[in-house]
Amino acid sequence: MAAPPLPNLFLPPISPTNSPQSPKFCFPATTPTVGARRATPFVSCSAATVRKGGRVNPDDYHSTLRALNSKGRMPRKSLGQHYMLNSSINEQLAAAANVKEGDVVLEIGPGTGSLTSVLIDLGATVLAVEKDSYMAALVDERFAGTNRLKVLNEDFTKCHMSSHMSSLLKSIELSDSKSQPAKVVSNIPFNISTDIIKLLLPMGDIFSEVVLLLQEETALRLVDSSSGTSEKRPINVFVNFYSDPEFKFKVPRTNFFPQPNVDAAVVSFKLKQAADYPAVSSIKSFFSMVNSAFNGKRKMLRKSLQHISTALEIERALEDCSLPATSRPEELSLDDFVRLHNLIVKQ
């Protein structure tokens, strides 16, 4: 099926005045006639840039534009598409997960396949999930010569990932007696990062580690488990319940096309097995209590949790946890929430 018509925009050749990280869009000098067919964007691209050591970067600015042109596409804001232009960053991303030969890796949003290329070169088998059908086709075509890539044209937030991964892992086990947990290595859309994290972290039975490139502010917030900060949210409790997060490194915004308004950063989440989760009587009721606590963030817990227990019982439970009766949710650690839950939630 042909690509849908695109806005009548033209990208100029790269010049000293047009930064590769911040391409400028030029509108035609004249307004096209109403009803006239819109032209496909044309990009003048030179040869791929050469990286240090004499190696060619196959996913630099020019190569990325060529790939997008081949499908008549431009980055879509609605999908949060920001393509990585620096292969060295992709290599560091893979290194953060210690990807090696024989690993099975889930990649969410492969885009033009820049990170996919690094993962395959390291000897990993990759399951790439891409919502954009044009990008899914592009990646499938780019790596048509390998049998270590499976591309799913699906929305990750809606697909049955456990089923897909289980099938892939079983097929690999049939040909290789060595079975090990899979990993996740991805440059994900910033606008759905929290949704993706909530889906991935409870999957410690499938994945051993999740390494994601996130918006820097989000990355810093997720790894901060300290109590008493006004920035603390239920997601902080969630992350530490299911994983051990670690901030890896910062990625300047100039490494992306189009360039976002914020810098990025890489975070590693070492996933816990179910046996290592904090000892709560019910995970569902635990997070229900945590969410209720933060819904009344400015309120003391003895008020915001009154639908669960009486104010007096909550005060006594806080005292048993060595916490003041006036405690607010942002002041509690994960262990504090666990103890409080087990004292006041009736099963």
Where is the binding site for S-adenosyl-L-methionine, in residues? Answer: 82, 84, 109, 130, 155, 187
User: By the 8 A CB rule, do 331 and 322 touch?
Assistant: no
Radius of gyration (Cα) for the chain, nearest Å? 24
Distance CA 254, CA 86 (A): 9
The label of the residue with tokens 């290595």 reads 185
**Helices of type H across the chain:** 61-70, 87-96, 114-121, 133-142, 161-175, 193-200, 216-223, 234-242, 283-295, 301-304, 311-320, 334-344
Comparing CA positions, the residue from 97, 62, 104 lying closest to residue 83 is: 62
Distance CA 159, CA 161 (A): 6
Pairing state of beta strands 125-129 and 243-251?
A: unpaired
Cis? peptide before 258, omega within 30° of 0? yes
Where is the binding site, in residues? Answer: 82, 84, 109, 130, 155, 187
User: By the 8 A CB rule, do 57 and 50 touch?
Assistant: yes
User: By the 8 A CB rule, do 128 and 149 touch?
Assistant: yes
SS3 184: strand
